[in-house]
A and B are shown apart, each in its own frame.
Chain A
Amino acid sequence: MRVLVVEDEAALRGQIAARLREEGFAVEEAPDGQEALYMGGELPVDAAIVDLGLPGLDGIEVIRRWREAGRGFPVLILTARGRWQDKVQGLEAGADDYLAKPFHMEELLARLRALLRRSAGWASPVIRCGPVELDPASHEVRVDGAPVELTAFEFRLLRYLMLHAGEVVSKSELSEHLYEEDADRDSNVIEVLVARLRRKLDPERRLEPIETLRGRGYRFRLERAGA
């Protein structure tokens, strides 16, 4: 999951980005409206966190232009002024949720997870496909109720695949959404990780949760539950 953080205050932007990376998100940072407009328009981001009070182009205008350009990723706005007028304007411009400053980082993460889930069509906070269960908040993964130990990157991969369960996800899409813009990408790494994930989730090869579609990519094929 790639998240764009738009905040002009460098210290706060750094804190948010660091916490998001800890959570296993690929993070892009924009310090002003122009940069944000470009990144949100060109990069395959899955969600954006936007401060409304930006120098130059303000946050509401940035969101409006993204939406005009057809960019539909969920947007969480941060506002220093807790007035309803600002919240209403922000959501009318196309944002999906708001958070007043100052905020608890955990609150921000919970809102972000909820937005990502909702935009992928999930209603409940825990993602369930057949016997596989993934909790984006606690990072716990269970198969038939038994916990499965995953590395951070394996978790990111599984989270993306499960959020998009039933959809075909290409290898390039995976690398675009799991890596940051200036990271080295190697699609062989993805193949290796998918193989490891299969072994960990389904050691006896009876579920076959991730199918490979030759030349097209992968699909998490277990049926969504409670969606």
Chain B
Amino acid sequence: MRAPRSLAARLLAAASGVLAAFLLLTGLALDRAFRDGVRDAQRARLEAQVYALLAALDVERGRVIMPPALPEARYATAGSGLYAEIADAEGRVLWRSASAVGLGIPWPPDPDPGEHAFARVRATDGQALFAYAYGVQWEGAGGALPLVVRVAEETSAYEAQVAGFRRSLALWLGAASLALLLVEAALLRWGLAPLRRLAREVAAVEAGERELVSGRYPAEVQPLVDALNALIRSGRALIERYRNALGDLAHSLKTPLAVLHGAAEGREGPEALRAAVLEQAARMQRLVDYHLQRAAAAGRSPAARAVPVAPVVARVLATLEKVHAARGVALESAVGPGVRFLGDEGDLMELVGNLADNACKHGGRRVRVSAEADPEGRLRALVVEDDGPGIAPERRAALLARGTRGDTRAEGQGIGLAVVAEIAAAYGGTVEIGHGADLGGARVTVRLAP
């Protein structure tokens, strides 16, 4: 797949396309309006020539008489560009200006009296002309005589005017589009500046020059920046936790290793060595278990899915039912269908599994898992109760002690509750051990931060 083009290139390409189409249409419309205007002015000028000729002419016994000095000197010069003739109703030419001698002009069809005709034509010598014909009823002494007055002028003035207009139009439109493109490029640069800044900041975070992406960003970008920072923080916390767990584990293994070393070098018999190996192996196992479980808590990540709680509880309870089948423990879930856990499904399973398994192991015949949720259905507390002998108040703190080395725990105490406390802490929560009034045994509550 081709890499997507940059945002700036996309916006610039789209805006340029729109601009080009807009300017083209504007140019066409302006050109057409200008040409129509010039043409109308030309017609009006020819009309004025017709009126001037009509004012000058005289008709005597069916013959047109023109004064020698016409209102327009160009009528007298051959090929001057202004031509006129007067014809009768049958099309016979009664008078023709000196300028038109020898020139064939395809006049527009003769109009009726009082009407006019206007057209652009080409004369026999090839020059382009605007031709105007006007029909008139001449009221003279010898009665009414229908006449057609024809005037034609070459188009060069018109052409020059249009060409001049087009030149300046192209110049101005070109200049305008260039200016618009420059403004647009500047706008894009300004508008996309926060994204460029963000890219620089992220690169700085990547290079280790900066802790987090800093600064305020526009409303569209700020949520992205916040999410990015949350991701960076949680990733860093995870690494920190793994590093600590690894360090703790490595250090905690040194003591049993030293003991084994000592036992191997000592002078005691094989039985003592055997006992030392067994004891230290068990100790190392507890350490590895404890640190693995601690490190395994995924914790709340910013991209956490909402995990429905009830199905997870049901799966864990079904598993425990099978495992504790011989003892016939009644496991029940009172978790509502809408409750959701914002976090890792494995962590939730670990919480429910450890707590319910402890309840089963420590004498419970009935175990109940329930949940408290906020109005949006987010899990706020997970409660596991049983009808066993309960947990003595003085032992509670020791069971929950987080961070104490696994080898300081008495065997058989299990690491279940410490793991639960560790996971709860990863979600900013706490664990309380109490007495459940309802079932009469222990009641362990995991409270999660909102």
Contacts and interface: CB of A to CB of B under 8 A. Distances in A.
A88 B315 contact: yes
B331 to A, nearest CB: 13
A91 B292 CA distance: 22
A83 B316 CA distance: 12
B325 interface: yes
Interface string B338-377: 0000000110011011100000000000000000000000
Nearest to A118: B326
B80 interface: no
Interface residues of B, number: 21
B293 interface: yes
Contacts of B354: 84
A91 B319 contact: yes
A92 interface: yes
B316 A97 contact: no
Contacts of A114: 326
A201 B438 CA distance: 51
A83 B319 contact: no
Contact of B323 (A83, A98, A102): A98
Contacts of B281: 102
Interface in B309-341: 315-316, 318-319, 322-323, 325-326
B326 A87 contact: no
A66 B101 CA distance: 118
B326 A91 contact: no
A117 B325 CA distance: 12
B350 A83 contact: yes
A82 B319 CA distance: 14
Nearest to B349: A84
Contact of B322 (A81, A85, A91, A100): A91
Given A84-B354, A88-B349, A118 B325 contact: yes
A123 interface: yes
B308 to A, nearest CB: 15
B281 to A, nearest CB: 8
16 contacts: A82-B289, A83-B296, A84-B354, A85-B346, A87-B319, A88-B316, A88-B319, A88-B353, A91-B318, A92-B319, A96-B322, A96-B323, A97-B322, A102-B281, A114-B326, A118-B325
Given A88-B315, A117-B326, A118-B325, 17 more contacts: A82-B292, A82-B293, A83-B296, A83-B350, A84-B354, A85-B345, A85-B349, A88-B316, A88-B319, A88-B353, A92-B315, A96-B322, A96-B323, A98-B323, A102-B281, A102-B285, A114-B326
